[in-house]
Structure 1
Amino acid sequence: MPRPFSLYLDLCRFLAAVLVVVSHIVPYGVIAAGSANWWLNLGRESVVLFFVLSGFVIAYTTERRKAGLRDYCIARATRIYSVALPLVLLAFALAAVLVLSGRANLGNYYQLAKPWLYLPLHLLFMGELWTISEPPPLLAPYWSLGYEVWYYVLFGAAFYLRGKRRIIVLGALLLLVGPKLWLLLPVWCAGVWLWHRQKTHAIARPLALFGWWATLALLAGFKMSGMDTSLRMFALSAWPLPDVPLKSADRFLADYLVCVLVVANFLCARSLGFIALLRIERPVRRLASYTFTLYLVHALVMRVWLVFHPDRTDLGGVALLVVLIIACTWIVGQLTEHRKAWWERVFVRLAARSQATAR
């Protein structure tokens, strides 16, 4: 992959994480409701970008590394659990502290009453299967991992298995995950398609420049028009399975449109080159290396902050909250995303023990 294009994708990844943080400012109550503009509400679109990027990167890495299924599983487990495991445990611990200190009601964190049930549910990313809709306490953005991790599993089965075994395993997995994950699977698969498409097809530079700007303008128009809300309402009214509610997949029609814009934008960016980004390569790579941590940590910080700082008009307090999010992201990132080598060794040892036990 050309360095400028890889750098562009990293920049998009970090900006998308920032937009997710910004999109929670009003819903979480950091500032008063009624003060939001469309550009403060791009969180869902950012998750769509994450899904496309995820499919793209998985297709790229599996093709480049020529690894087997075992190495694929270790790599994916390292990437996900290095961040998810510590933060889920931290979320339960913080929720317990809030309840025990009398600052929160146990009813708000009912999962604390059955940790033996909910911890495995979250750590196995089963919170979005079929009719379930269960993010961990204080970690609402975790919902998207309930999609992405299963897409990793589905891709691994499709890529590494052969013959009847592949068909049986894929069929069983699709039956397990349920309709919500089926609906957003095309968005993730679009990233896989993008990887293969951009290798062999280029766009003339004038057309690529026009297309790049056009995708941004169309996204802005899409949000300003309120079409995303209209499509969400239509999807809810037309959904034919009332006993299987859409819940976190209720924006799938809008997600498809955003997915097309994201894929088109990336294709145009691939042909444009963006050589100038090489001048800021180090800071962009550094910031992007904290993306996953920022995506989850900010929710913890916001939720706990609002318990102790309920004032919605204190701009100084909001500024301090931003500083806290940055500081906590850096600290947690040092123990998670920036310690992947340690986590990888853990999963290599676990894989070796499992293999020895199987023998």
Structure 2
Amino acid sequence: MGITIQAGRVRFKERLFAAPTPLPDAFSIHLDLIRFSAALAVFVAHLSSFPITRGSVWPALGQYGDAAVTLFFVLSGYVISYTTSFREREAKSYVISRISRLYSVVLIALPLTFLLDSLGLALNPSFYQNQKILWKPESLAGYLSSLFFVNEYQVFAFGGISPGTNGPYWSLSFEASYYLIAGILLFCRKRFAIPASLIVLALAGRTIAALLPLWALGFTLQRLRIPPLRPGLWQLAFWASALLVVFSPRIDAFIPHLGERLFLPWGRGAFNRDITSDYFVALSFAAHLVSARALLAGGCRPLVRLETPIRWLGSLTFPLYLFHYPALCLFAAICPWSESSLARLAFLAALSGALVIALAPACDALKNAIRMHLPSASLRIRSYLARAAR
């Protein structure tokens, strides 16, 4: 009887989940384009907000900041599912890749934020008195908690904290938690993994726990077996799901909001997260990912021809996300034009973009250095601890 049940489970799993296969080139390029577009949406949302600018950006373009972060969560789970199926099949390679991915940008973003904020406070302190710019005074706790990605952990009762003006940093606490939980569940024994994951969620708090299913949705989607459908149906699903994401800010007005009943604090202001909107965007984007992979499996010449510039834009995603707001704050503080001026808009966009482009190669170099030296450094630390324990 037990053997029959086990065989049935295996057959069900085989029908539901596909064997790991490489991502089609066109689909991989499409994912890079989505990643950069999401980071750009966050940038535009902040660029269009007062007192950075006022009225010089079409208001509709500034409404995608929250939706873009939701896309990041789903896409992150999808990519981690893929990499752990191929390249990161052992705990050691997974840990090295996750640490190098996060800290290659964080170790530049934190000192950069402090430098830009210090310069801005010296040049125009009154601008930084606006709470939207510097929500709370700069503090060592803000930087240290961010360095270890516990800035959003409700167990510490920070009540909304960030490294200086770097408000977008909040999502890294979520991202790092999901990396940690995925690593525990994938590479540790179940009798340890499940309790350990629940402990992490308990420490992190209800908001990180409430958005974990979005990340898990992306992870599961990558491993699902896609049913065969006619190309016309995949095209319909592709464009319909994309339109749902694009029009999500308008559709949101017609969706019942659980966020009004549930207090899910997030960000440096401990805002109330609207989980209903997050789940709507995530499900719409999930449909887009499934249809895009099926539709682009046979290739797409326009995407392949633009692979080089799209890959380059994709490499800017993380630096753009984590560097842009302190840069915008400094450049807005010293900008001679009024908030509604198009010259101010061009000035802020150009300087912030140039800073991101200039520092992105340093992030790549740091990532390679961490990957190269982290294994030997961990061996030295373990050797030192072993000698100290004798």
TM-score (norm: length of structure 1): 0.90
Q: Relative to 1, partners in 2 of residues 1:127 and 1:202: Cα closer, same or farther, differing over 3 Å?
A: farther
| Per-residue deviation, residues 51-92 of structure 1 (Å, max 9, x unmatched) | 111001111111102532222111101000010121112212
Q: Relative to 1, partners in 2 of residues 1:202 and 1:19: Cα closer, same or farther, differing over 3 Å?
A: farther
Pick from 73, 77, 92 the counterpart of residue 55 of structure 1. Answer: 77
- Number of residue-to-residue matches in the alignment: 350
How many angstroms apart in 1 are the aligned matches of 2:24 and 2:124?
Answer: 54
> 1:213 corresponds to which residue?
239
Structure 1 gap ranges (5+): none
How many angstroms apart in 1 are the aligned matches of 2:274 and 2:222?
Answer: 25
Q: Relative to 1, partners in 2 of residues 1:269 and 1:252: Cα closer, same or farther, differing over 3 Å?
A: same
More helix by percentage? 1
> 2:284 corresponds to which residue?
261
Aligned pairs for 1:219-230 (under 5 A) are 219-227=245-253
TM-score (norm: length of structure 2): 0.83
1:235 aligns with 2:261: no
Structure 2 gap ranges (5+): 1-22
How many angstroms apart in 2 are the aligned matches of 1:225 and 1:36?
Answer: 18
Letter in structure 1 aligned against 2:287: A
Larger deviation, residues 249-258 vs 163-172: 163-172
> 1:93 corresponds to which residue?
115
Q: Relative to 1, partners in 2 of residues 1:164 and 1:29: Cα closer, same or farther, differing over 3 Å?
A: same
**CA deviation after TM superposition for structure 1 residue 267, in Å:** 0.8
Pick from 212, 217, 226 the counterpart of residue 190 of structure 1. Answer: 217
Larger Rg: 2
How many angstroms apart in 2 are the aligned matches of 1:13 and 1:34?
Answer: 25
Larger deviation, residues 37-46 vs 283-292: 37-46
| Structure 2 residue matching 1:336: 3-state secondary structure | helix
Letter in structure 2 aligned against 1:284: I
Structure 1 residue ranges, 4+ long, deviating more than 6 angstroms after superposition: none
1:76 aligns with 2:102: no
**CA deviation after TM superposition for structure 1 residue 289, in Å:** 0.8
1:299 aligns with 2:321: no
| Per-residue deviation, residues 19-60 of structure 1 (Å, max 9, x unmatched) | 111111222433315964333311111111111110011111
1:283 aligns with 2:309: yes
How many angstroms apart in 1 are the aligned matches of 2:329 and 2:85?
Answer: 40
Letter in structure 2 aligned against 1:98: G
Task: Note if contact 1:79-1:337 (Cα within 8 Å) is conserved in structure 2.
Answer: no
1:311 aligns with 2:338: yes
How many angstroms apart in 1 are the aligned matches of 2:375 and 2:50?
Answer: 39
Q: Relative to 1, partners in 2 of residues 1:253 and 1:160: Cα closer, same or farther, differing over 3 Å?
A: same
How many angstroms apart in 1 are the aligned matches of 2:194 and 2:90?
Answer: 19
> 1:123 corresponds to which residue?
147
Letter in structure 2 aligned against 1:157: I
Task: Note if contact 1:16-1:46 (Cα within 8 Å) is conserved in structure 2.
Answer: yes
**CA deviation after TM superposition for structure 1 residue 175, in Å:** 1.4
Larger deviation, residues 97-106 vs 147-156: 97-106
**CA deviation after TM superposition for structure 1 residue 236, in Å:** 3.8
How many angstroms apart in 2 are the aligned matches of 1:179 and 1:260?
Answer: 20
1:271 aligns with 2:294: yes
Pick from 74, 81, 89 the counterpart of residue 67 of structure 1. Answer: 89
Task: Note if contact 1:69-1:156 (Cα within 8 Å) is conserved in structure 2.
Answer: yes
How many angstroms apart in 1 are the aligned matches of 2:39 and 2:349?
Answer: 14
Letter in structure 1 aligned against 2:371: E
How many angstroms apart in 1 are the aligned matches of 2:111 and 2:27?
Answer: 36
1:11 aligns with 2:33: yes
Task: Note if contact 1:290-1:337 (Cα within 8 Å) is conserved in structure 2.
Answer: no
How many angstroms apart in 1 are the aligned matches of 2:385 and 2:50?
Answer: 47
1:23 aligns with 2:45: yes
